[in-house]
Structure 1
């Protein structure tokens, strides 16, 4: 599994919120396809965590296809890390 950590900057909130419905629709589709395990914002809305059940090449394709990650002001991919769950994954 791969974990993606996003950071949001407060100055871009209108653009980010405008892009969010299409982004969340894409997340729902990825979840239904079994490619996304879980996703959601931090409680303080300063970022989000996404857990993907794909290989690195598949993740790059997903990130490239969703404008939220590559062209929405104020959305920054802070980290991509491999995660090896012991329970629940």
Structure 2
């Protein structure tokens, strides 16, 4: 699994691109690739959890222009190994 952290800054472009991005997230979730996603409550960014490999996440980021939109910054992409819940190691 991979965790992607985003940071947001005020931008009308980000808000304009958000609807299409969220629709893409729904599609990825339906495909089983996106486990969870959502913004921080204070609106400063978001966290996304993907159940795919590094290339899969790279392809997702490359295909969605939201990640390159003014007001969106990729803070970190890290491999994550849960020990409890979905995807937990035995």
TM-score, L = length of structure 2: 0.93
The within-5 A match list for 1:27-66 is 27-66=25-64
- Work out the CA distance in 2 between the residues paired with 1:47 and 1:38: 14
2:78 equivalent to 1:81: yes
5+ unaligned residues in a row in structure 1: which ranges?
none
- Work out the CA distance in 1 between the residues paired with 2:73 and 2:53: 21
Aligned-residue RMSD, C-alpha: 0.6
| Runs of 4+ with deviation above 6 angstroms | none
| Alignment: residue pair count | 86
Residue 9 of structure 1, CA deviation: 0.9
TM-score, L = length of structure 1: 0.94
